[in-house]
Amino acid sequence: MKRLSTFIILFLFAISCFADISIRQTFLKWELGYAKTASELPSKWIPALVPGAVQLDIAKAEKYEPYYYAEHWKDYSWMEDQFYTYRTSFPKPELNSGERLVFVSKGIDYQFQIFLNGKEILSQEGMFTPVSLDLTDQLKPENELKILVFPAPKIYATPIDRSQASHSVKPAVSYGWDWHPRLIPLGIWDETYLEKRPASFIEDFHVNYTLNQDLSKAEIKLELSGQNLNGLPFIWTLKDENGNEVLKSEGKTELSFANPQLWWTHDQGKSYRYTSTIQLLDASGKIIQTSESKIGFRRIRLVMNQGAWENFNGFPQTRSVPPAQLEINGRKIFCKGTNWVNPEIFPGIISRERYNDLLSLAKEANFNILRVWGGGIVNKESFFELCDEKGILVWQEFPLACNNYSDDAHYLSILKQESTSIINRVKKHPSLAFWCGGNELFNAWSGMTDQSLALRLLNSQCLELDPKTPFIPTSPLMGMGHGNYVFRDLETKEEVFSNMARAHFTTYTEFGMPSPASVEVLKTIIPKEELWPPKPGASWESHHAYKAWVGNTWLCQDIIEDYFGVSTSLEELVANGQLMQCEGYKCIYEEARRQKPYCSMATNWCYQEPWPTAANNSLISYPTILKPAYYAVKNACRPILASAKFSKFKWTEGETFFADLWMLSDLPTDIPGGKVKIKLVAGTSELALLSWDYNPMKANVNQAGPTSRCKLPAWSTDRFKVVLEVEGHPEYNSEYTFAYQPHSVERKRTTPAMNQ
Amino acid sequence: MKRLSTFIILFLFAISCFADISIRQTFLKWELGYAKTASELPSKWIPALVPGAVQLDIAKAEKYEPYYYAEHWKDYSWMEDQFYTYRTSFPKPELNSGERLVFVSKGIDYQFQIFLNGKEILSQEGMFTPVSLDLTDQLKPENELKILVFPAPKIYATPIDRSQASHSVKPAVSYGWDWHPRLIPLGIWDETYLEKRPASFIEDFHVNYTLNQDLSKAEIKLELSGQNLNGLPFIWTLKDENGNEVLKSEGKTELSFANPQLWWTHDQGKSYRYTSTIQLLDASGKIIQTSESKIGFRRIRLVMNQGAWENFNGFPQTRSVPPAQLEINGRKIFCKGTNWVNPEIFPGIISRERYNDLLSLAKEANFNILRVWGGGIVNKESFFELCDEKGILVWQEFPLACNNYSDDAHYLSILKQESTSIINRVKKHPSLAFWCGGNELFNAWSGMTDQSLALRLLNSQCLELDPKTPFIPTSPLMGMGHGNYVFRDLETKEEVFSNMARAHFTTYTEFGMPSPASVEVLKTIIPKEELWPPKPGASWESHHAYKAWVGNTWLCQDIIEDYFGVSTSLEELVANGQLMQCEGYKCIYEEARRQKPYCSMATNWCYQEPWPTAANNSLISYPTILKPAYYAVKNACRPILASAKFSKFKWTEGETFFADLWMLSDLPTDIPGGKVKIKLVAGTSELALLSWDYNPMKANVNQAGPTSRCKLPAWSTDRFKVVLEVEGHPEYNSEYTFAYQPHSVERKRTTPAMNQ
């Protein structure tokens, strides 16, 4: 066994900026080995990327084909059942009097033991609870640190699916999903280093505040925890965005702060953040630790949706729906957003830059909320810092999804440990909108109920540790709409247009509209010989074009071709599929907005993807390749726009076409009235229909306009556009594309009577 | 001020039987005074009944007319706003070495301070948290104990209604309800005494057990708490019903118990109880305390109702209904029961005998569950002991009802204190089925939601203190049916028969059917000159015959007379009203049973009443006077019966009458097949219809039979009976009465087409 010869010390500033004393963080060089059992020694050692994942290290060292190409992900499957050992060595550093050497890891996935010089110093299950081990008293001149990572947790050997994750707090998605291959990350997945700390040390600091009723004052409680803090003085200051000190405490933990600037989502105001600095002093008054963070003041509540108390369908009656209207700083807002999934299969390699790219795009798409879906991880700190900065709310789920998580004591104890870590970390961020127990847990395929102890525990944990943040046990709840995931229902064939017109929900928390990836993406994942025509059974299927969910998902070639005829090329199929994704998503986002104020939220399934799929509901292909639907949704989510409601997708010559005109506004301010013109465009033909003078628009209130009708003329195209133009405000313009069938007597006969 | 001259000492055994050392309980003689402020001295002292209520003492001393007669309850209203002082005096008793003198009160209603010799020794808000004060070190040769009871808690002075109780853990019912006058009890309401205790003393003892999956073994943890127990030995024994010791522990707190006899509801098996005896020993091995109680072993869960997972109404979809199927010892049972309200306006005077009378009748009525409604008190210990003994389950609500209980810190702290006391007391009883946050809290008139901190707190409290017992936040929940409360809907005029046939709920947790009280009861509450005809505005209205709920409730004379014509006497009105109550209730109980297994529970609103109403939905008039509906419901709840489903109440000559025949069984055992005959009886005429040979009946499974039809003959009566006779089993027979209209051409024209 080769001894590690290199010991690299890097002096870096941590995520929190240390102003007076730099807490030294020493990043170590790691090696990785693996074996079939815990006791067996690894037969060889390979370089390890930390943070990373064991699979990536093996793939690199042993020259595996990339998992995202063709069906190579299958080559990685043996890796989920090995025992992995990370090892590193380092000399005992010089320590000043009282100074401690601490090994810190923000996350090791999933069950592991840590050994120092052959002696076990920690055994832990759970990837979200950071490790902080004081090594000082056990140091030798030369030290070896080992981390033994256990195989992926499985409650049973078969079936090989997500249900294997139902007894652990390991995100279930990696056990295989309808858009995620089976690839279960293991290993060190977040920042990991040695740190020299003073004898007295603040390990956790929280500015716990309560805003008074009219938001004019924050009552602040400073909460410090750490080592040997008893009786030591501290100084806390709050600085505004210009760097001016606005509040200071010398040792007092309770303070009032008058007239705080409030934190708002980006569409409602400024996402104002203050700089909080805590300094720990020793008995002589010397500063021994300085730590800075950004904080924001806001009050978030879930309140009853407007009109929801009045729903009464006679006796016997049941309860009213739970509240799903988000209120920030006393203002009810319409939430527009999306379902965020892991941006990487191996979360260890997600960087702040990767988060930033995706979150910047989310803000540009006019999204003010992300539902962080319970099948995935709880993201790293930089995710929340960026959401704070960009004014995007986070609906944060715990790592439970589509399983019946156990009532047993072991699982509950790990869930309690992990949720404590998660809550205490994430609650500090103003972007946190509410907690949620997990995904689809109260539906048949999960089988959990209100009696499930895991969900009662999470409710209890959130109440104890973060009582001012709302909690919901799962999504969907009563009155929340979930699905559909296709352009038209696979059984009833009802299209999204009529389905949404009939729907009456407090929120639309998940709705999907599939499309194939762009041709350029497809070429990077599907071998040339498989590209055309697409077929189940190989790379297309591995990349979720076939047999992903029910029906021919997610490619749905049959539905696409039912509207536009048999595709003659990959390019044509992709273009038509992507068009339908655009129109379907626009329909849902805009109809949800029209249903405001009873409806208060629309978040599509899903935003991005952790690897390149061949077909999916996502708006962005891996890693950050925008589909046309991204732009369509971005337009549908503009704060103000002209919108129209339609009854179906395909129209025929001579039929009476109609559209209900609307002006939609989620703006927090009033705007003047104006004029909307509607026209139809087919190829080079244009047909002007009515023009509507809309009234001045009240803040955050939509306006319904007239219904425009016309008999569809003869065109030679297979599609036409509806264009809404707002005089003097091209930024409010909208357009929609529909399928068109000329001269079709057959078709007319089967068209149902029009709703005039 | 007259000094109390008498000091009475009574030596009694406490509720728990002390076998070796008798813990002496000294019951004191109390006096009561009152004043407008806390600081003012009472102007006089009157004898006080303890436990009791200040109103009863004043009424007796000052010769008030009884509150239940005419409108005299109004004379008592000033009493809710006074400050009351209880006082007593006693000499310092002789105490052996180390012995302590403790003042115990199991309940003082609602906010109070306790003074010993002029010095405040306790200030408490909350009537459910017992008081246990060690007086020893503050005793003088002569001692005076005073309890200052504050006025009834009110969050604001007006409106004078139940919303005044929304900031306290005081049961809301006494602030006025549609069947309860406004009379707010105050004072000492449960057992109160002095107790000599040894220096070491077990104050609370709990046999905490978990049954294994197949119920063949109980893992027991003994939980002791009290004074100076550290290291003292104890002996615990468990004896079976024959007095044989089956388990013994000498100091071990964890034990296994193989093959426990299980506790069942009376309709499912034996309500088996063991005797648990705990003995505390001093260091020399001498027994210093012995305490006995009865315990039962059972596992209760709320599981999904059969078929509930399969409900799917297309996308977008919401969640599945919460589970409402009660399972005891692995067996799903149909719960038949009723809503229990306070049996007295002043709970202080409820005795074990009063509970026993009402609970014996509940068992005789085939009820296996009582919903103890959140508007009332959490009952005294003897209630639960009797439910344990009789095999009746208790759905226990916390004292929240029809209000929006506050999120504020003070209310939540009292709720936490009170719920801790309630849970730790009641969880010891095998009859406890599940906890519930309170009544109708998620409906518009209450305005609480899943985000209300009080309900999140109660969930958390129950999870922490009693995790093996289910918890629901309120009733109704999604999928549970609540209401109606009249024979036919006041707006749509739809009758209970068709309404119930359309209904599809997991449970029917509240449904009412009003009737006037019997003439003999009415004569005891309504002055002779008001008796006939009934009118709003005076005693009839005070006793809830008018303006109680919506419409002409609860007398509903208009509906009664619509079926049977104008009543010519009180006797006739009462008879017809009581008949409709019988038929309405039979319809609902039997239809709920027919909807098994999706439906799993039927509990009518309400069982009894705390004072004599003139009209109400109750089955029993105050105090224990059975209405005819009691017998009707008792019959509808027989474990096995012939039943029929009807479409309406009034039939006309020549019309085709029809009824769907059923055999209903909730029996835990199979029974052989048999024959049911159906006949119509009008006066002395009988018309035999079909006879049905039903198949052998599987345990707990109903059987649907044929539909019987006939053209109704000419009868001269205004009603007829449908009689179901089961050959050889008259105990399965059923009969139903319907209104009948002979020769009515007019009527026929308006009869809707029959559903054949």
Band (A643; pLDDT cuts 50, 70, 90): very high
What interhelical angle do A352-364 and A381-390 show, nearest 10?
A: 30
The answer to whether A327 contacts chain B (CB < 8 Å) is no
Convert A415-433 into a string of H (helix), E (strand) and C (coil).
HHHHHHHHHHHHCCCCCEE
Q: For chain B, which ranges sit under pLDDT 70? A: 1-22, 744-756
Of B449, B453, B459, the CB nearest to A304: B449
Does residue B24 or residue A462 have the better pLDDT? A462
A740 close to A565: Cβ distance less than 8 angstroms: no
Phi, psi of A424 (to 5 degrees): -65, -25
The pLDDT value given to residue A588: 98
- The verdict on a CB contact (< 8 Å) between B315 and A489 is yes
Two tokens at A348?
């260890």
Task: Give the burial class of B261: count Cβ atoms within 10 A of its Cβ; 0-12 exposed, 13-18 middle, 19 or more buried.
Answer: middle
Interface test with A, best of B449, B469, B487, B599 (most A CBs within 10 A): B449
Nearest to B376 by CA among B151, B165, B625, B602: B165
The pLDDT value given to residue A660: 98
Interface test with A, best of B210, B309, B313, B318 (most A CBs within 10 A): B318
Alpha carbon distance B251, B307 (integer Å): 49
Query: Cα dist. A553→A550, A617, B507 in Å?
Result: 6, 10, 39
DSSP of B626-649: E-HHHHHHHHHTSSEEEEEE-S-S
Measured at the alpha carbon of residue A715, what is the angle toward residues A709 and A720, in degrees to the nearest 5?
Answer: 60
* Chain-centre distance for alpha carbon A653: 44
The pLDDT value given to residue B557: 98
Shortest Cα distance from A359 to chain B (angstroms)?
Answer: 27
The pLDDT value given to residue A231: 86
The pLDDT value given to residue B750: 39
The answer to whether A460 contacts chain B (CB < 8 Å) is yes
- The verdict on a CB contact (< 8 Å) between B317 and A481 is yes
Alpha carbon distance B54, B76 (integer Å): 11
* Chain-centre distance for alpha carbon A582: 21
Alpha carbon distance A99, B244 (integer Å): 65
The answer to whether A81 contacts chain B (CB < 8 Å) is no
Which pLDDT tens digit goes with each residue over A207-266? 999 999 999 999 999 999 999 999 899 999 999 999 999 999 999 999 999 999 999 999
A228 close to A203: Cβ distance less than 8 angstroms: no
Band (A23; pLDDT cuts 50, 70, 90): confident
B474: nearest CA partner in chain A: A319
Q: How many CA atoms lie within 13 A of B479 on its CB side?
A: 22
Alpha carbon distance B546, B610 (integer Å): 18
* Chain-centre distance for alpha carbon A197: 34
Task: Give the β-pairing of A620-621 and A625-626.
Answer: antiparallel
Alpha carbon distance A351, A83 (integer Å): 26
* pLDDT score of A684 more than 90: yes
Poorest-pLDDT segment among A9-13, A40-44, A406-410, A579-583: A9-13
The answer to whether A450 contacts chain B (CB < 8 Å) is yes
* pLDDT score of A24 more than 90: no
3-state SS class at A33: strand
Q: Where are the beta strands (DSSP E) in B354-511?
A: 369-372, 393-397, 432-436, 471-472, 480-482, 507-510
Band (A86; pLDDT cuts 50, 70, 90): very high
* pLDDT score of A338 more than 70: yes
* pLDDT score of A756 more than 80: no
pTM: 0.95
* Chain-centre distance for alpha carbon B207: 25
Q: Which residues of B touch A412 (CB under 8 A)?
A: none
Q: Which residues of A touch B451 (CB under 8 A)?
A: 301-303, 322-323, 470-471
* pLDDT score of A671 more than 90: yes
Alpha carbon distance B71, B77 (integer Å): 11
The answer to whether A463 contacts chain B (CB < 8 Å) is yes
Of A456, A474, A492, the CB nearest to B314: A492
Convert B257-314 into a string of H (helix), E (strand) and C (coil).
EECCCEECCCCCCCECCEEEEEEEECCCCCEEEEEEEEECECCEEEECCCCHHHCCCC
Two tokens at B485?
């409360």
Q: Which residues of A touch B304 (CB under 8 A)?
A: 449
* pLDDT score of A750 more than 50: no
Mean pLDDT of chain A, nearest integer: 95
Which pLDDT tens digit goes with each residue over A119-169? 999 999 999 999 999 999 999 999 999 999 999 999 999 999 999 999 999
Shortest Cα distance from B467 to chain A (angstroms)?
Answer: 8
**Four-point Cα dihedral A500, A506, A509, A514, nearest 10:** 0
The pLDDT value given to residue B753: 38
Which pLDDT tens digit goes with each residue over B619-671? 999 999 999 999 999 999 999 999 999 999 999 999 999 999 999 999 999 99
DSSP of A487-518: SB-TTT--BHHHHHHH---SEEEE----EEPP
Residues 6+ apart with CB under 8 A from B326: B300, B301, B302, B332, B333, B335, B369, B393, B433, B434, B600, B601
B469 close to B432: Cβ distance less than 8 angstroms: yes
b/e string for A681-692 if b means 16 or more Cβ within 10 A? bbeeeeeebbeb
A131 close to A105: Cβ distance less than 8 angstroms: yes
The pLDDT value given to residue B23: 77
Helices (H) and strands (E) in chain B, counts: 12, 42
Sorted by where each starts, the structural domains of chain B and their CATH numbers stand as: 201-300 (2.60.40.10), 640-750 (2.60.40.1930)
- The verdict on a CB contact (< 8 Å) between A318 and B492 is no
* pLDDT score of A8 more than 90: no
The answer to whether A126 contacts chain B (CB < 8 Å) is no
DSSP of A234-294: EEEEEE-TTS-EEEEEES-SEEEEESPPBB--TTTS-B--EEEEEEEE-TTS-EEEEEEEE
Q: Which residues of B touch A479 (CB under 8 A)?
A: 318
Other Cβ atoms closer than 10 A to A562: 15
Which pLDDT tens digit goes with each residue over A575-607? 999 999 999 999 999 999 999 999 999 999 999
- The verdict on a CB contact (< 8 Å) between A456 and B451 is no
Two tokens at A14?
């941590």
Alpha carbon distance B275, A101 (integer Å): 58
DSSP of A653-692: TTSEEEEEEEEEE--SS-B--EEEEEEEEETTEEEEEEEE
